[in-house]
Structure formats: structure tokens, C-alpha cells
Structure 1
């Protein structure tokens, strides 16, 4: 039985969401024991190995020769963008005690994508999308806000890293969507993991950190790297080959619920009621954004 492109896209998007939800869990578990530099070296070393094996199996690396000079420049630019965005993502995971909160605040990323698309691509957004953007930002504010504090300390520590990470993730998403037809998703993934591994090695040497870490940390990184640098990125890129970004966003909006379940099962953690309420508001915002984009770009 032949599977339609829409079904393929849905399945890849669902795999991506489940995988990335577990990235929050296993990376948090590892980062409680190791530094960011140590984590990065192991995490992206494993991730690069998985994707290279997969790329050799798929025989895709010969397409390097077919890439234009512009595509190589895009890969270099994306590499630096991914280094900055991913650093702040794991910095947020390391700083904020509950990974569910990181996930909920990170739901503002589609807001940045829409804003960038409006500025760079002259894409208009609908009233439904605008309401969704407001809800996503409102939900993130509810989660991050600390009452009875001064202006400088009004948000929980670590929320600023999620903001930075989401901004750079939005830039990356807009660029990748424009180039996904010209650059194979596997090459994009290798490029990302390679840049992040090089950055992690440089950071490790600069900070004089040791490569010696516990067996438990290695285990968590091993599992997480299969889900993160490999499965999440590959499945996410493959989903974009079959379905529009707007449809993928509908599925991606459920990510916080998977992270919530994983945090409870793995760490026995449940976010405060106010954070859970804010998270639900961000998810509703994402659904409205996705609905608005689905109606606008329905194919």
C-alpha cells in the first residue's frame, strides 16, 4: 500500500516531536552531572556518528559535489546560527530546574518565525495567527514572571536563554525552509552536528575541562544523542519535505505535553500550577497559529 505524502509528513513530524520531547529529559539528566562543554563533546560526537552511518547507508554524500557556492555559504551561516541557538537551548535546560518549563516557554519560537517571515519574506499573517501570537507570548510571560520582584529580576532565571534560543531557531527554520529542496536533510544535519562538535571541543579546551564523566551521564547522553542530533533533526527535516511548515507546527504544538509526561515519569517533577496554566495558554496559541497558517497555505 502506497503511503501519501501527507501521511509520511505527519508520521515524520510526530516522530520528531516525540524524539525532541525526550531530548529535554535525557539532556537534563546528563547536565545535572557534567558541564556544558563536556556534554557537547559527547552529545554531538555520538550524534555525528549516527548521522554519518545513516548518510553512508543512504549514499547521500555524493550530493556535496552538486551543491552550489551559495549552498555552501548557507551551510556555514546555518552552522554558526545553530551553535548559538543550541548553546542557549542547553544553557536553559541546565539552568531551569524543570524541563517542562523550558518547553512551554520555547513555544514562542513560531512567533519569531512569523515575524521573520513578515520582515524578510513579506508574508502576511492572519487575524487568527495574530491572536495565537498574543496567546503564545502571554503564556510565556505567565510562566516566566516572578511576582513581588523588581524590574531587573521579574522573570525566572533561564527564561532569557529560551528567548535567545527561540530567536536563533526561528532564523534557522526560515533559512532551511527556503533551501530544503536544494540541500539534503542529512547534509544539513551533518553540518549542524559538526559545527556544534567543533565548538564544544574548543570550549572544552578553553575551560580545561576533563573528558572523564560518569557512566550514568554517558548512558543518558548516548540515548539522548540518538533522539536529538540524529532522530529529531532528521525526522523534522524529512517532515518538511512532505508537508508545509504550518501543518508540522500543529503536531509540534503537542511537544510540551510529551515533555510534561516525561518529566513526571523520569524526574517525578510536575510544574507549578501557574506554569502549567501558562503552558496550556502557549499551546492554545500555537494551535491558533498553526490553524491560521494551514488555512492560508492549504494545499
Structure 2
């Protein structure tokens, strides 16, 4: 039985979501024992190994010869943005005690993607999408707000890192979507892991830290890197070849539920009621964004 492109995209996006949900868990476990620099060397070292093995198996190295100068420049841009964005992501994981909170606040990403798509890809958004954007941002505010009046102490520590990471992630998502037809997902993944590994090695040497870490940390990084730099990214990029970015976003929004379950099972942590409410509001917001985008796309298809 032939599987439609929509189902392929849905399944790939779901695999990406389940994998990235576990990234929150295993990276948090590892970062309780090692520094971000040590973590990066092992995490992206393993991740690069997995993707190179996969590329060799698929004989994808031949694709490199087909890349244009423009493609290389795009890869450099994406690599530099990824270095900064990924640093802030793991900084948030390291700073905020419960990884579920990081996941819930991170649901502002689709709202930012829609915004950047409006300015960069000239895509328009409708009323439903706008309401969804407001809900996603409001939910993130509810989770992050500490109740203090002063601007410097209004939000929980670490929320700013999620914002920075989400902004840079939104830029990356839009650039990748615009160029996914000319740069293969495997090349994008290899480039991403390579940039992040090089940055981690440089940071480790500049700060004079050791590469020696505990066996337990290596185990958590080993498992997490297989799910993160490899499976999450590959499945996510491949999904964009079959489904729109907005549809992938709705599937991605459910990752908070998987992280919630994983955090409870692995760490015995459960968010406060207000955080859960805010988290579900962000999910509803992302669902509305995706529904609004789907409705607009369907309308255009019927009118054409």
C-alpha cells in the first residue's frame, strides 16, 4: 500500500517530536553532572558520528558535489545561528529545574515562525492564526511570570534563554523551509552537528576544562545524542519535504506532553498547576495557528 506524502510527513514529524521530547530528559540528566562545554563535545561528537554513518550508508556524500556557492553560504549562516540558538536552548535546560517548563515556554516558537514567515517569505496570517499567536505568548507569560513587579525579576530565571533560542530557531526554520529543495536534509544535519561540535571544542579549550566525565553522563549523552542531533533533526527536516511548516508545528506542539510524562517518570517532577494551565494554553495556541494556516491553504487550493 502506497503511503501518501501527508502521512509520511505526519509520521516523520511524530518521530521527531518523540525523539526531541527525550532530548529534554537525557540532556537534563547529563547537564546535572557536566558543563555545557563538556556536554557539547560529547553530545555533538556522537551526533555527528551517527549522521555520518547514516550518510555513508545512504551514499549521500555524493550530494556535496552538487552544492552551489549559495548553498555553502546558507549552510554557514544556518550553522552560526544554530550555534548561538542551541547554546541558549541547553542553557535553559541547565538553568530551569523542570524540563517540562522549557518545553511549554518553547511553544512560542510557532508564533515566531509565523511572524518571520510574514516578513521573510511574505506569507500572510489570518484571524485564527493571530489568536493562536496571542494564546501561545500568553501561556508562555503565565508560566514564566514570577509575580514580582520589577522588570529585572519579573520572570523565572532561564525564560530569557528560551526566548533567545526560539527567535533564532524561528529564523532557522524559515531559512530551511525556503531552501529545503536545494539543500538535502542530511547535508543540513551534518553541517549543523559539525558547527556545534567545533564550537564546543573551542569553548572547552578556551575555558581549560577536561574531557573526562562520568560513565553515567556518557550514557545519558550517548542515548540523547542518538535521539537529538541525529533522529530529531533528520526526521524533522525530512518531514518538511512532505508537509507544510505550519502542519509540522502542530505536531511539534505536543512535545510538552511527552516531556511532561518523561520528567515525571525519570525525575519524579511535576509542574505546578499554574504552569500546567499555561502549558496547555500554549498548546491550544499552536493548534489554532496550525488550523488557521491549514484553513488558509485549503481556501487557496479550492479557489485555484
TM tier relative to shorter chain: over 0.9
The residue that corresponds to 2:223 in the other structure is 223
Alignment deviations for residues 187-228 of structure 1 (CA, whole Å, 9 cap, x no partner): 000000000000000000011110000000000000000000
Q: How many Å apart are 1:2 and its aligned residue?
A: 1.6
Q: Determine the C-alpha separation between the residues in 2 that align with 1:119 and 1:186.
A: 28
Q: Determine the C-alpha separation between the residues in 1 that align with 2:252 and 2:158.
A: 22
The residue that corresponds to 2:56 in the other structure is 56
Q: How many Å apart are 1:152 and its aligned residue?
A: 1.3
Q: 4+ residue stretches of structure 1 with deviation over 4 A?
A: none
Q: What RMSD over aligned residues (CA atoms) do the two structures have, in Å? A: 0.8
1:236-275 aligned at under 5 Å gives the runs: 236-275=236-275
The residue that corresponds to 2:42 in the other structure is 42
Q: Determine the C-alpha separation between the residues in 2 that align with 1:294 and 1:90.
A: 32
The residue that corresponds to 1:234 in the other structure is 234
The residue that corresponds to 1:7 in the other structure is 7
1:71-110 aligned at under 5 Å gives the runs: 71-110=71-110
TM-score (norm 2): 0.97
Q: How many Å apart are 1:185 and its aligned residue?
A: 0.3
Q: Determine the C-alpha separation between the residues in 2 that align with 1:275 and 1:243.
A: 31
Alignment deviations for residues 100-130 of structure 1 (CA, whole Å, 9 cap, x no partner): 0000000001111111111122221100000
Alignment deviations for residues 220-270 of structure 1 (CA, whole Å, 9 cap, x no partner): 000000000000000000111111112111211111000000000000000
Answering whether residue 133 of structure 2 is matched by residue 133 of structure 1, we say: yes
Q: How many Å apart are 1:147 and its aligned residue?
A: 0.9
Q: Determine the C-alpha separation between the residues in 2 that align with 1:101 and 1:24.
A: 10
Q: Which moved more, 1:289-298 or 1:278-287?
A: 289-298
Q: In structure 2, list runs of 5 or more residues that go unmatched.
A: none
Q: Determine the C-alpha separation between the residues in 2 that align with 1:203 and 1:32.
A: 19
Q: How many Å apart are 1:149 and its aligned residue?
A: 4.4
Q: Which moved more, 1:146-155 or 1:101-110?
A: 146-155
Answering whether residue 31 of structure 2 is matched by residue 31 of structure 1, we say: yes
Q: Which moved more, 1:116-125 or 1:67-76?
A: 116-125
The secondary structure found in structure 2 opposite 1:147 is coil
The residue that corresponds to 2:202 in the other structure is 202
The residue that corresponds to 1:17 in the other structure is 17
Q: How many Å apart are 1:7 and its aligned residue?
A: 1.1
The residue that corresponds to 2:153 in the other structure is 153
Q: Determine the C-alpha separation between the residues in 2 that align with 1:250 and 1:107.
A: 10
Q: How many Å apart are 1:297 and its aligned residue?
A: 2.1
Q: Determine the C-alpha separation between the residues in 1 that align with 2:150 and 2:170.
A: 30
The residue that corresponds to 1:291 in the other structure is 291
The residue that corresponds to 1:166 in the other structure is 166
The secondary structure found in structure 2 opposite 1:182 is coil
The secondary structure found in structure 2 opposite 1:181 is coil
Q: How many Å apart are 1:21 and its aligned residue?
A: 0.3
Q: Determine the C-alpha separation between the residues in 2 that align with 1:187 and 1:100.
A: 31
Give the number of equivalent residue pairs: 299
